[in-house]
Amino acid sequence: MAIFPKPEDYQKSDYSLLLNGLKEGVKDLSPAYFAMVMATGIISIAAHLLGMPLVAVALFWLNIVTYLVLWFLNVLRVIWFTSQFFSDMVDHKRGPGFFTSIAGSCVLGSQFVLISGNYLAATFLWVLGIILWIGLTYTIFTAFTIKENKPTLDEGITGAWLLAVVSTQSIAVLSALIASHWKQPYKLEVNFFALSMWLWGGMLYIWMISLIFYRYTFFKFSPGDLTPPYWINMGAMAISTLAGSLLIANSPDAPFLRSLLPFLKGFTVFFWATGTWWIPMLFILATWRYVYKRFPLRYDPLYWGAIFPLGMYTACTFQMARAMELEFLQVIPRYFVYIALLAWLAAFSGLVYKLVYRLLVFLNKRGRSKL
């Protein structure tokens, strides 16, 4: 019998530790982690629109890697923790987080169109986004409807529910971008599809924000309840503005859009104004949470859901000002993009710190296992 472990035993031990660490991380992986792809992607697009090519391209490549890694981790989660994965999907609080996979796919697709001009990759992500949208929308909301045990309104609804709106509008945005490249008759059909998704997303927002605002004002509200996804209150309106602006830009190629121009312009401004109203309100509530109530500020994947609206507001204001010739609004995205970039850097630094910490814990366990 050998007194000392063989070298291959060390390798087996390292593999076992690594596998257990990966399983531990994947088990509780937030369904909303694709919000990182959404946030990184839209800030990349905003940087591209505002003439910051190095930032735009760097974030574009980072987003491709992030997107692929997240799909890999989610596939592992389905394989290793199938029951928990699907339980999360029909959970009132965690379920809406799955809509980030749709929005993340379509935002990345929009990057492929605007930054690299790769319409083949964009079309693949567009089709994937539509398939995910059909599957997740009807699965999640059917489950919420027929579940026997349901939470009360104040326990079950959060700003994350508006990710259903964001995912719908992300398809409208990518559809409009693809339609501008395709030839007739597909150009007409895809523009009509983009218009339909835009209208549905707007209606869905009205339904959901009514419930969320009711929860805001008529139920007890603690600092812990004010989770970062409440910023989607504004982000859903910002992406609706962006989709409307792109439809206005596409109107010369679609007669039915030309006939709807007054409606398109009116509702695009309506969405933008609503989103703008939310910004001071959300900053005030954030001050109440972190300054007055001294709620601890630490990294949480849900913060990506708060960064996405900042980047989207930058991009949508730029596009609306250009589509409707409102040049006086261009001053907003020129400065707002830096707020979005700083917020992204803060969240990314938090993620890096968390990953480094986990790596050090792993190395510490590995070292002790060899003693």
pLDDT tens per residue across span 260-298: 999 999 999 999 999 999 999 999 999 999 898 888 888
Q: 36 with 66: CB under 8 angstroms?
A: yes
Cα separation, 333 vs 319, whole angstroms: 10
Q: Is the peptide bond before 333 cis (omega within 30 degrees of 0)?
A: no
- Indicate whether 366 pLDDT > 80: no
At 97, list the tokens: 């987080």
Q: In the chain, which ranges are continuous DSSP H helix?
A: 7-27, 35-49, 53-80, 82-89, 99-111, 119-146, 153-156, 163-179, 186-218, 232-250, 255-259, 261-287, 304-323, 331-369
Q: 27 with 80: CB under 8 angstroms?
A: yes
- Indicate whether 7 pLDDT > 60: no
- Which amino acid would we find at residue 220? K
- Indicate whether 12 pLDDT > 70: no
pLDDT tens per residue across span 34-89: 999 999 999 999 999 999 999 999 999 999 999 999 999 999 999 999 999 999 99
Cα separation, 200 vs 197, whole angstroms: 5
pLDDT tens per residue across span 160-184: 999 999 999 999 999 999 999 988 8
Nearest to 45 by CA among 242, 272, 283: 242
pLDDT band at 222 (very low <50, low <70, confident <90, very high): confident
- For 10, 11, 85, 252, 370, the CA distances from 6, given in Å and listed in that order, are 7, 9, 39, 73, 11
pLDDT tens per residue across span 294-341: 888 888 888 898 999 999 999 999 999 999 999 999 999 999 999 999
Could you report how far apart the first and last alpha carbons of the chain are, in Å?
18
Nearest to 64 by CA among 125, 131, 126: 125
Cα separation, 252 vs 249, whole angstroms: 7
Superfamily of chain region 32-369 = Voltage-dependent anion channel (1.50.10.150)
- Indicate whether 1 pLDDT > 70: no
Find tokens 């259903």 and name the residue: 164
